[in-house]
C-alpha cells in the first residue's frame, strides 16, 4: 500500500537492513554465526524499543535471496538459528502484542522451517500492537517479479495500484524510515518498490551494537527531515498550516 502519513516525530513504519553481524563476530575472533546469534538479541531489543515508542510496523531484513551464496555452514547456521529463535521468541512476542509475518519465498526453505513460520504467524495473528515483518529468503526484485507474475496469471492489467496490491508487503503502508546498520550505504535488494519515498538513515554501528540510543538517533534524524513527495517546500508548509487546528 502506498499511502504515507504526513511527517511525524515517530515513524509509523520502520524498515531495517540488519547488517554487520559477521564483522561483529570476526572482531571478537568468533565464528560468524555467533554474530547472527547476537543479532537475534539485538532484534528482540529493537522490537521492544519500537513498540514502546509507538512504531506500528517494523520490517527487518533477515536473509536475502542472495545470502544463499554464502558458505554452506553459515547458511545452515542461519536456518538453524531461525528455527531456534522461533521456538524461543514466539511466546514472548505473543504476550507483547506483536503480530509476526514472514515475507519472502517459502519455496527453497525446508518443510520444517516453512511449517515453523506458518505456526508462528498463526500463533500471533490476533495481535495488534506492532506488526513485525521478517523478510527471509526475500529480495525486492523477487517481490516485483512475483507480483507481476500473479497479475499475468489472472489476466489482470499491470498497473501501479494492481502491482502494489500483489506485493508481499501489501498488508502495510510503505516504510517511512529505512535504516541500514553496519556502515554500508546501499539497499542490497531490500524493499525496492516500497522505499520510493522512505527516508534513509545509515548507521556505522554493527547490528548487534544497535541499541535504543542508536534507534533514537535515527528517529531524531527522521523527525528533522522534510518529506516533500515531489512537491515544493512551500506547498508542504501551506498544507501543514491548513491542517493545523485554528485558534
Catalytic residues, by residue number, are: 19, 67
Q: Which of residues 32 and 99 has its CB atom nearest to ligand IPE in the complex? A: 32
- Residue 18 interacts with, from Mg ion, ligand IPE, none (CB under 5-8 Å by kind): ligand IPE
CA dihedral 54, 56, 57, 60 (to 10 degrees): 20
Does position 19 interact with Mg ion (CB under 5 A)? The reply is yes
Smallest distance, Mg ion to C-beta of residue 20, A = 6
Distance CA(59)–CA(67), nearest Å, equals 18
- Closest separation in Å from C-beta 65 to ligand IPE: 9
Nearer to Mg ion, 15 or 100 (CB): 15
Query: Cell 499491470 appears where?
Result: 158
**CA angle, corner 60, sides to 213 and 78, nearest 5?**
110
Q: Which is nearer to ligand IPE, 23 or 165 (CB)?
A: 23
Question: Interacting stretch for ligand IPE, rule CB under 6 A, among 6-14, 57-65, 169-177, 214-222?
Answer: 57-65
Spell 59-80 as b/e; 16+ CB within 10 A means b: bbbbbbbebeeeeeeeeebbbe
Which helix (H) or strand (E) segment holds residue 192: the answer is none
Interaction of residue 17 with ligand IPE, rule CB under 6 A: yes
Q: Shortest gap between Cβ of 182 and Mg ion (angstroms)?
A: 6
Cα-to-chain-centroid distance, residue 236: 28
Q: Which of 1, 7, 23, 217 binds ligand IPE (CB under 6 A)?
A: 23
Please, are residues 22 and 181 in contact by the beta-carbon 8 Å criterion? Answer: no
Residue numbers at the binding site for ligand IPE (CB under 6 A) = 17-23, 61-64, 67, 78, 182, 184, 186, 188
Amino acid at each position: 500500500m502506498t499511502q504515507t502519513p504526513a511527517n511525524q516525530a515517530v515513524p509509523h513504519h520502520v524498515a531495517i537492513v540488519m547488517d554487520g553481524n559477521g564483522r561483529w563476530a570476526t572482531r571478537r575472533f568468533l565464528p560468524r554465526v555467533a554474530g547472527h546469534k547476537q543479532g537475534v538479541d539485538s532484534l528482540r531489543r529493537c522490537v521492544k524499543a519500537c513498540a514502546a515508542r509507538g512504531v506500528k510496523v517494523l520490517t527487518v531484513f533477515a536473509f536475502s535471496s542472495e545470502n544463499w551464496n554464502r558458505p554452506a555452514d553459515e547458511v545452515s547456521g542461519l536456518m538453524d538459528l531461525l528455527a531456534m529463535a522461533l521456538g524461543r521468541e514466539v511466546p514472548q512476542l505473543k504476550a507483547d502484542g506483536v503480530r509476526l509475518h514472514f515475507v519472502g519465498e517459502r519455496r527453497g526453505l525446508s518443510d520444517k522451517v516453512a511449517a515453523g513460520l506458518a505456526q508462528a504467524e498463526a500463533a500471533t495473528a490476533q495481535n495488534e500492537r506492532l506488526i513485525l515483518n521478517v523478510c527471509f529468503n526475500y529480495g525486492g526484485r523477487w517481490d516485483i517479479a512475483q507480483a507481476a507474475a500473479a497479475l499475468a496469471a489472472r489476466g489482470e492489467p499491470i498497473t501501479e495500484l494492481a502491482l502494489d496490491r500483489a506485493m508481499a508487503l501489501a498488508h502495510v503502508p510503505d516504510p517511512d524510515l529505512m535504516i541500514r546498520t553496519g556502515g554500508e550505504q546501499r539497499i542490497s535488494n531490500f524493499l525496492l518498490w516500497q522505499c520510493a519515498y522512505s527516508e534513509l538513515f545509515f548507521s556505522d554501528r554493527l547490528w548487534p551494537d544497535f541499541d535504543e540510543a542508536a534507534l533514537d538517533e535515527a528517529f531524531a534524524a527522521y523527525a528533522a527531515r522534510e518529506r516533500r513527495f515531489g512537491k515544493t517546500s512551500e506547498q508542504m508548509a501551506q498544507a501543514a498550516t491548513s491542517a493545523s487546528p485554528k485558534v
